[in-house]
Structure 1
Amino acid sequence: MLFEKLLFFMLICFSIRRLAGILIGLSYLILVYGLYVPDWFFEISSLNMESRSPVSGYGSSTQTVNCGVRGSLKPPCNVVGLIDRLLLGEKHLYQRPVYRRTKECSVNSPDYGPPPSNAPGWCLAPFDPEGILSSLMAAITCLVGLHFGHILVHVQDHLQRVIFWSVFSVFLTLAGYVLELAGVPLSKPLYTLSYMFITAGVSGLLLVVLYYIVDVKCFQKPMILFQWMGMNALILYALAACDLFSGALQGFYLYSPENNLVIIFFPLNVSSSSKLTHLLRSYF
Structure 2
Amino acid sequence: MEDPKRIEEGFGYAPIVKEENTADNHGKKEGRDDVVERRAVDKEEERMEPKEEQPPIKQKSKRVATLDAFRGLTIVLMILVDDAGGSFPRIDHSPWNGCTLADFVMPFFLFIVGVAIALALKRILKVESAIKKIILRTLKLLFWGLILQGGYSHAPDDLSYGVDMKKIRWFGILQRIALVYFVVAFIETLTTKLRPTVLNPGHFSIFTAYKWQWLGGFAAFLIYMITTFSLYVPDWSFVAHHERYIVKCGMRGHLGPACNAVGYVDRQVWGVNHLYSSPVWSRLKACTLSSPSSGPLRPDAPSWCHGPFEPEGLLSTISAILSGTIGIHYGHVLIHFKGHAERLKQWISMGLGLLILAIILHFTDAIPINKQLYSFSYVCFTAGAAGIVFSVFYILIDVWGLRTPFLFLEWIGMNAMLVFVMAAQGIFAAFINGWYYKREDNNLVNWIQKHVFIDVWHSNRVGTLLYVIFAEITFWGVVSGILHKLGIYWKL
With the length of structure 2 as denominator, give the TM-score of the two structures. Answer: 0.47
Change (3 A) 1:218 1:84: same
Distance 1:113 1:233 in 2: 33
Which amino acid is the alignment partner of residue 462 of structure 2?
A: L
Match 2:293 to one of 103, 106, 111: 111
Instruction: State the match for 2:398 in structure 1.
Output: 215
* Structure 1 stretch displaced more, 14-23 or 140-149: 14-23
Instruction: State the match for 1:38 in structure 2.
Output: 234
Which of 1 and 2 has greater Rg? 2
Query: Does the alignment pair 1:161 with 2:343?
Result: yes
Distance 1:92 1:116 in 2: 25
% same residue: 34
Change (3 A) 1:144 1:11: closer
Query: Does the alignment pair 1:134 with 2:335?
Result: no
Which amino acid is the alignment partner of residue 199 of structure 1?
A: T
**For each residue in 1:26-81, what CA deviation from the matched residue of structure 2 results, as whole angstroms up to 9, or x when unmatched?**
2211111111212111122xxxx3xxxxxxxxxx7211101122211111110000
Contact 1:249 1:260 in 2 (8 A): no
Distance 2:248 2:234 in 1: 8
Change (3 A) 1:105 1:226: same
SS at match of 1:77: coil
Which amino acid is the alignment partner of residue 212 of structure 2?
A: I
Query: Does the alignment pair 1:171 with 2:387?
Result: no
Query: Does the alignment pair 1:204 with 2:387?
Result: yes
SS at match of 1:41: strand
Distance 1:37 1:91 in 2: 18
Instruction: State the match for 1:257 in structure 2.
Output: 458
Deviation at 1:237, TM superposition (A): 7.1
Deviation at 1:161, TM superposition (A): 0.9
Listed as ranges, the gaps of 5+ residues in structure 1 are 50-59, 266-271, 274-284
Query: Does the alignment pair 1:227 with 2:410?
Result: yes
Distance 1:254 1:61 in 2: 41
Instruction: State the match for 2:243 in structure 1.
Output: 61
SS at match of 1:63: strand
Contact 2:228 2:253 in 1 (8 A): yes
Deviation at 1:259, TM superposition (A): 6.9
SS at match of 2:199: helix
Instruction: State the match for 2:30 in structure 1.
Output: none
Deviation at 1:87, TM superposition (A): 1.4
Contact 2:449 2:464 in 1 (8 A): no
* Structure 1 stretch displaced more, 68-77 or 195-204: 68-77
Let me know the Cα RMSD of the aligned residues: 3.1
* Structure 1 stretch displaced more, 1-10 or 176-185: 1-10
Match 2:277 to one of 92, 95, 99: 95
Distance 2:243 2:309 in 1: 17
Contact 2:457 2:463 in 1 (8 A): no
Distance 1:145 1:84 in 2: 26
Query: Does the alignment pair 1:74 with 2:256?
Result: yes
Which protein, 1 or 2, shows the higher relative CO under an 8 Å CA cutoff with sep ≥ 6?
2
Query: Does the alignment pair 1:26 with 2:26?
Result: no
Distance 2:400 2:359 in 1: 31
Deviation at 1:105, TM superposition (A): 2.4
Change (3 A) 1:93 1:263: closer
Distance 2:364 2:224 in 1: 17
With the length of structure 1 as denominator, give the TM-score of the two structures. Answer: 0.78
SS at match of 1:148: helix
Instruction: State the match for 1:269 in structure 2.
Output: none
SS at match of 1:111: coil
Deviation at 1:104, TM superposition (A): 2.4
Deviation at 1:202, TM superposition (A): 0.6
Change (3 A) 1:238 1:115: farther
Deviation at 1:20, TM superposition (A): 1.9
**For each residue in 1:118-150, what CA deviation from the matched residue of structure 2 results, as whole angstroms up to 9, or x when unmatched?**
111111211101111111111111111111111
SS at match of 2:295: coil
Match 1:7 to one of 199, 203, 218: 199
Distance 1:238 1:116 in 2: 36
Change (3 A) 1:21 1:182: farther
Which amino acid is the alignment partner of residue 239 of structure 1?
A: A
Which amino acid is the alignment partner of residue 41 of structure 1?
A: S
SS at match of 1:96: coil
Instruction: State the match for 1:239 in structure 2.
Output: 423
* Structure 1 stretch displaced more, 130-139 or 219-228: 219-228
SS at match of 1:6: coil
SS at match of 1:122: helix
Instruction: State the match for 1:53 in structure 2.
Output: none
* Structure 1 stretch displaced more, 230-239 or 172-181: 230-239
SS at match of 1:106: coil
